[in-house]
Structure 1
Amino acid sequence: MAGDAKKLQPIIIKRVKKGGHAAHGGAWKIAYADFVTAMMAFFLLMWLLGSTTEGDKKGIAEYFSSPLKVAMFGGSGSGDASHVIKGGGQDLSRQTGQVKAGDVESQRHTVNLRALKEEQRRAEKSRLEQLKQKVEDVLGEHPRLAALGGQIRLDMTLEGLRIQIVDENSRPMFDSGSAVVKPYMRELLRELGAVLTEVPNRLTLEGHTDAQAFASGDRGYSNWELSADRANASRRELVAGGLPESRVLRVQGLASSKLLDEKQPESPLNRRISIIVMNRDAVDAVLKNLPAEDETETAGNSPAKSASSP
């Protein structure tokens, strides 16, 4: 019986479940985000320090040492001075600091002034072109002056409108070695004086001779004195024609230093009077003692001898 009882005893199987891992928390994500933020701030700081000028760095350091002083009274690195409380700026594209309102206004003034000067130059050039046409019309309409048309040359230079009256063997402006204007040239100069009153530009008169020297040589009365006297005689005829005395800025004798026909130094074409209707830039250059732009090419020539107007 006892054996049967053992056979009928149930078999009990115990299964032990192992405990699983606990759920992970999110604290590490916060720490990683803080780390990434700190690194980004660090690299941003390095970039700002690398793109900031030394003056701005000193301004920042001064601000942290005395912020109220910099904010109220300005200083190096204080930013745009147009703000009520200095320290701000609006031009974020600048790598060397903000632009002050005064700098912006100065740049605008410079641009406007440059545009105004360009407009004045164009208007003045147009006025001189009209004067050139006017002189040509007067010469063409005047019966006696039409015969002298071949001796008058008009061209535009860097100084302005240049009117050149050259000699011909048959119709010289002056007798040889003389500064007395011939009657037909006197009439021409007075007609030019009347035409030149139509523009307000200042004038330069230049006398030129050929290379044939005086017998007395350069130490006596020479081509320098002769060219200056001829230019001054031409000035008197222009004034007699109605040109105001104040319009003449320079009267100078250049002798043979600027030959018109360099291949033939003694050619009659080199004996001439040049009347230059000066533009604003040329007048400013003379008044400020600056070299004229078109005189740089002849810097090696002999200096001109000027003759003061009586």
Structure 2
Amino acid sequence: MSFQYRRARRPFDEEPENHERWLISYSDFITLLFAFFVVMYAISSVNIGKYRMFSDALGDALGGQGANVKPNTEVLNQPIPNPNLKKRQEMMRQERASMTKLAQDLQSTMAPLVKEGKVRVTQNSRGVSVEINASVLFDPADVNLTAESREALTAVAALLVTDRHAIQVEGHTDDQPVRNIYPSNWELSSMRAATVVRLFIESGVAPERLTAVGHASNHPVAANDDPVGRARNRRVAVTILSAVPDPETEIPTEPAAQDVPAAQ
């Protein structure tokens, strides 16, 4: 009697486990992500022809649904609002109006000298400038203000006492060597600017708002070839500096000062 041993048959044959099946899902995800970024790039700069071509091609690939989507060009073309820019523009508008009002008041105060061509009031990107011929303020080769100029500058100071802007006083000379106690035009121009600053302080203007600068002959407004040009270059400029500089502002409020020959 013979016995045959037979191996028990498994109820089903197990398939070997595939450890790389995740790659299929991963590749699908990467493909969709790539398509998403391509779409975002395509609509970042609106080109209607390219957009429609891309939309048709993508719609065909995805079952013909994408071609029906049309870009909202009105929304895409609208600029992104910038609250900081709007706020600065409003500040510049208010500052421009304030400086214009100040320029008008200064011109009215200095009206007699403006008519004589000895003073010029201008509004520019720096602020409001009152340019005064040196012959109005000082005797030849002197740094002491004349009685007439003290009265005019005191009236200017009265307008600036309640103002909030910084003030820069600049002294200018011609290119001729000085013939007085000062070694050069640097000292003469600086002392004349400091004299005006001192009068403003005595009139109640806060010292921390004031700056005195001497330029000597380095910023002429006319040629130093003749007495008329040299007279124009001898001057003092009082500039009320804008708190919000506006590069678009360049408003002369009065024609250029007339030639006023005067001794240094």
**Are 1:152 and 2:143 matched, yes or no?**
no
Q: 136, 145, 150: which is aligned to 1:181?
A: 145
- TM-score, normalised to structure 2's length? 0.59
Match of 1:277 in 2: 240
* Higher alpha-carbon Rg: 1
Aligned residue among 206, 226, 231 for 1:268: 231
Whole-angstrom distance in 2 between the partners of 1:281 and 1:269: 30
CA distance in 1, matches of 2:226, 2:89: 39
1:203 counterpart letter in structure 2: I
Alignment partners' CA distance in 1, 2:166 and 2:140: 30
Q: 1:290-309, CA deviations, whole angstroms, 9 ceiling, x for partnerless residues?
A: xx999xxxxxxxxxxxxxxx
**In structure 1, how many angstroms separate the alpha carbons of the residues matched to 2:248 and 2:92?**
15
How big is the shift at 1:45?
5.4
Q: Which has the higher contact order (CA 8 A, sep 6+)?
A: 2
The CA distance in 1 between the partners of 2:200 and 2:40, in whole Å, is 61
For normalisation by structure 1, the TM-score amounts to 0.51
SS of the residue 2:110 aligns to: helix
Q: What corresponds to 2:132 in structure 1?
A: 165
Measured in 1, the distance between the counterparts of 2:188 and 2:84 equals 44
Q: CA deviation at 1:47?
A: 6.8
* Whole-Å separation in 1 of the counterparts to 2:28 and 2:89: 49
Q: Which moved more, 1:258-267 or 1:234-243?
A: 258-267
Residue 185 of structure 2 corresponds to residue 223 of structure 1: yes
State yes or no: 1:124 paired with 2:109: no
Matched residue type, 1:184: E
Could you tell me which residue of structure 1 aligns to residue 13 of structure 2? none
Contact 1:201 1:279 in 2 (8 A): yes
Change (3 A) 1:293 1:115: closer
User: Distance in 1 between the 2:221 and 2:169 partners?
Assistant: 16
CA gap 1:147/1:275 in 2 versus in 1, 3 angstroms: closer
Q: Which residue of 1 aligns with 2:195?
A: 233
Residue 49 of structure 1 corresponds to which residue in structure 2? 34
Over the aligned positions, Cα root-mean-square deviation in angstroms equals: 3.6
- What residue ranges of structure 2 are gaps of 5+ in the alignment? 1-26, 44-79, 250-264
Query: What is the alpha-carbon distance in structure 1 between the residues aligned to residue 32 and residue 224 of structure 2?
Result: 69
> Could you say which residue in structure 1 is the equivalent of 2:76?
none
CA distance in 2, matches of 1:147, 1:159: 23
2:141 and 2:179 in contact (8 A); partners too: no
Structure 1 residue runs of 5 or longer lacking an equivalent are 1-41, 54-91, 97-107, 141-145, 283-291, 295-310
Report if aligned partners of 2:133, 2:236 keep a CA contact under 8 Å in 1.
Answer: yes
Residue 203, structure 1, aligned to residue 174, structure 2:
no
